[in-house]
Amino acid sequence: MAPSLPQTLAALGDAVWSADTLGGAPGATLASGYAALDAVLPGAGWPLDALSELLQPPGFHAEWRLLLPALVRLQQASPGALVLVGPPHVPFGPALQAQGLAVQRLLWLQVSEPQARLWATEQALRCAGVLAVLAWLPQVRAEQLRRLQLAAQTHGKPLFALRPAQAQAESSPAVLRLLLAPWPDSPLVQAQAQTQAQAQGADDLCLHVLKRRGPPLLLPLLLPARQGRLSAWLALGAKAVEGDGHALDRLTAAA
Amino acid sequence: MHWIALQPQPEAQPPDGLAGLADVWSALGWWALQFTPRVARLDDAVLLEVSASERLWGGRARLRHLLLESNQAPALIQHAEGATSLIAKARLLPGLSHTPAPELPLTALAAASPHLATLAALGCTRWGQLRALPRAGVARRFGAPLLQALDQACGQGPDRYPWLLLPEVFEASLELAAQVETAPALLFGARRLLEQLQLWLQLRQRAVLALVLCWTMDARRDTATQGELLLRCAEPTLDTVHLQRLLAEHLARITLPAPALSLQLRTVETLPRGGHTASLLPEAQRPGDSLHQLLERLGARLGPAQLLQLQPQADHRPERMQRWQPVSNATVLIANEPNAARAGALNHSQDQALYPSWLLATPQRLAVRQGHPHYPDRLTLLAGPQRLEAGWWDAEPSALRDYYVARSSVSGLLWVYRERLDHPQVEAGLAPRWYLHGVFG
């Protein structure tokens, strides 16, 4: 009697990937620090030797919030500089340090021309003394990204490319593409996400996984409000703005 | 006495990946100095007197093996040996490598070249035949120099040469084969000079910290005839590839006022080379350039002022809590000090956790409608105020601000402040202004 399909598949082991399961990451990964995000990422974390793309609508920034836990862990694990290529604003050291980042190891490359950004990113990836590269690439073509992806792969460095949300329609060689947005007020999306978690705060982050090694993720992911003193302050501060109190005093009392 | 003569092969192609040396003979001479201190250049050959150092290298055969096989010369060479320098040199000619001295042709003796026709008419073409002639007659007819050269060649006169020395400062020049119109094209010539520099550095056991590339330009144009480029490295290097890339970046920014004719390379500062620290474990050595090399290359193209490093400062105004300044201390960038980082995080006031991760370089004025800030639509103030009053000791207006965390429907959480008005302004009926100062990223 011929063996049944599941038996055959079991015999083949890892050689066959069925399309409804999450692919394993070929390289090393680093846990993102968010359990909900890790659950949907192949290899349960950010790829350590590939290009990941984060798309954000104009004016919206959630990159530090999303990447910081992983970057802090990466910094603690090995020496090296963290390179920022052409960030849109000034990185605020005291705030980043308070969240655990070793800010003295940040290297900010102030470049504005698209070509110079690409060149600087590639040079940084080649350097042994670099830990990870965050590159803001507002204008970039797919073949240029492909070159960066190859550089990241060859030199085994994580590269996070931050691009505008309009780029989601373009094709991209990145192994992971995420679209970040503030949690929408529309009830339709909220109803869809009811199964995952209850949207509550003003600080929730909505995350669409556009591309990953695995089946497409149809529903957006909800990342809850950030923890710690900020959210505590937000909870207290809402009252303070309405009344006229000293929120910080009460925060100290609550902490 | 035992002499070895070396001659670079004339039309030999340089090995792959190398641009070839600017001056093969001096390079070959410098290289030969590691085998014996007595190295001389005679016409187009380099002569080594090795009898005194043979024992050091373990015998003549071992030395020959070292010269020809294990320690490769910087160029492809021909090699011959003999008891005197002139015999060794004469044996460089094709087909003569083992000819006894009396059988060597007179064409191989430089001093005899003016008299070759006369000597041939006498039936005298070999060294032995010339020696058999009466000395007085030869001296009268051909002059003393020929006789002296013959004595020297046969070991009856002294072999004296100005011995070659490895110079203290590297300086080499190169006549360009064609006029070079653009600065980046100078790189090809500079590569040949760099190859030579690398040899010098290896033999001197030094690493270069600063060097100057000069070029001479066509004087017919009414412009400067000299140009120069100072190249300074952050740490002493021996790596020509790195120097080449650095030079390419600098040359790309230079325009030549007139075509360049020749190049010169000179070291300005060199340091004794420290040993290379190798790791016991193969994995510990990560492949790729060092951070110093990266910073130099980026600085050369983007400008050193564009590479920024954070310097914390003690101030209460957010824009003055930190200064991003050009990288001066690259070791801090790599250093992994988990304890220091953790201590730093704890040391800082807990309020810093409330700061946004992005700061706007200059606060952005917000539109105010009906007393509420808008960006682009009405902001919801979530928390605050956090009052700041600082900078009254400075000349510029002091910072009197109330900071709020606000939410915008498109931009997420923002850090905005309202300027507090002083008494005269309130009396004048001014409305408070709102500014956007940070983004919670």
State pLDDT tens for residues B158-167. 888 888 888 8
Provide the pLDDT for residue B17: 43
What is the mean pLDDT of the segment spanning B176-181? Answer: 85
Which of B289, B352, B383 comes nearest A98 by C-beta?
A: B352
- For testing contact with chain A, the best of B382, B386, B404, B414 (most A CBs within 10 A): B382
Instruction: Record the pTM.
Output: 0.72
- Token readout for B360 is 């706007």
DSSP H or E run through A76: helix A63-77
Length of chain B: 441
Query: How far apart are the CA of A57 and the nearest CA of chain B, in angstroms?
Result: 8
> For residue B236, how many other CB atoms are within 10 A of its CB?
17
Query: How far apart are the CA of A227 and the nearest CA of chain B, in angstroms?
Result: 11
DSSP 8-state class, residue B359: E
Sign of the Cα pseudo-torsion (B420, B424, B426, B428, in order): negative
Which of A59, A101, A236 comes nearest B410 by C-beta?
A: A59
Provide the pLDDT for residue B105: 86
Interface of B with A in 322-381 (CB under 8 A): 322, 324, 327, 332-338, 340-342, 344-345, 348, 350-361, 380-381
CB contact under 8 A, B360 and A75: no
Separation of alpha carbons B325 and A104, rounded Å: 11
Residue B433 confidence (pLDDT) above 80: yes
Of A223-237, A241-255, B23-37, B45-59, which range is least confident?
A: A241-255
Residue A188 confidence (pLDDT) above 70: no
Question: pLDDT-derived band of residue A240, with 50, 70 and 90 as boundaries?
Answer: low
Residue B393 confidence (pLDDT) above 70: yes
Burial of B135 (0-12, 13-18, 19+ CB in 10 A): exposed
Question: Which residues of chain A does B286 touch, with a Cβ-Cβ cutoff of 8 Å?
Answer: 128
- Tokens 């204008």 locate to A139
Displacement of CA B430 from its chain's centroid (Å): 62
Residue A255 confidence (pLDDT) above 50: no
> For residue A180, how many other CB atoms are within 10 A of its CB?
22
More confident residue, A110 or B316: A110
Provide the pLDDT for residue B16: 44
Provide the pLDDT for residue A195: 41
What is the mean pLDDT of the segment spanning B180-208? Answer: 87
CB contact under 8 A, A129 and B291: yes
- Tokens 């590297």 locate to B170
Residue B404 confidence (pLDDT) above 80: yes
Q: Omega of the bond prior to B105 within 30 degrees of 0, cis?
A: no
Cα separations in angstroms, A77 against A131, B188, B226, B284:
10, 43, 52, 14
When the pLDDT of each residue in chain A is averaged and rounded to a whole number, the result is 81
B382 touches chain A (CB under 8 A): yes
Provide the pLDDT for residue A160: 95
Residue B232 confidence (pLDDT) above 60: yes
Residue A201 confidence (pLDDT) above 80: no
Residue A247 confidence (pLDDT) above 80: no
What is the mean pLDDT of the segment spanning B338-348? Answer: 51
- Token readout for B183 is 């600065």
CB contact under 8 A, A108 and B308: yes
- Tokens 């990204």 locate to A145
Question: Which residues of chain A does B364 touch, with a Cβ-Cβ cutoff of 8 Å?
Answer: none
DSSP 8-state class, residue B328: -
Question: pLDDT-derived band of residue B278, with 50, 70 and 90 as boundaries?
Answer: low
More confident residue, A164 or B423: A164
Provide the pLDDT for residue A199: 43
When the pLDDT of each residue in chain B is averaged and rounded to a whole number, the result is 83
CB A205 within 8 A of CB A82: no
Q: What pairing do the DSSP bridges indicate for beta strands B39-42 and B45-49?
A: antiparallel
DSSP 8-state class, residue B110: G
**Which residues are within 8 A (CB) of B428 and not within 5 positions of it... i.e. 6 or more apart?**
none
| Residue whose C-alpha is closest to residue B33's, from B164, B124, B215 | B164
Residue B83 confidence (pLDDT) above 90: no
Q: Is A30 left (phi over 0), alpha (psi -120 to 50) or beta?
A: beta
Residue A220 confidence (pLDDT) above 70: yes
DSSP secondary structure of chain A: -PPPHHHHHHHHGGG---TTSPPPPSS-EE--S-HHHHHHSGGGSEESSSEEEEEE-TT---HHHHHHHHHHHHHHHS--EEEEES-SSEE-HHHHHHTT--GGGEEEE---SHHHHHHHHHHHHHBTTEEEEEEE-SS--HHHHHHHHHHHHHHT--EEEEEEGGGGGS----SEEEEEEEPP--HHHHHHGGGT----STT-EEEEEEE-SSS---SPEEEPPP-SHHHHHHHHHHHHHHTT--HHHHHHHH-
More confident residue, A241 or B376: B376
Provide the pLDDT for residue A60: 87
What is the mean pLDDT of the segment spanning B56-77? Answer: 82
Which of A87, A111, A241 comes nearest B302 by C-beta?
A: A111
Separation of alpha carbons B265 and B267, rounded Å: 7
Question: pLDDT-derived band of residue A14, with 50, 70 and 90 as boundaries?
Answer: low
Residue B149 confidence (pLDDT) above 60: yes
Question: pLDDT-derived band of residue B138, with 50, 70 and 90 as boundaries?
Answer: confident
Query: How far apart are the CA of B325 and the nearest CA of chain A, in angstroms?
Result: 10
CB contact under 8 A, A61 and B440: yes
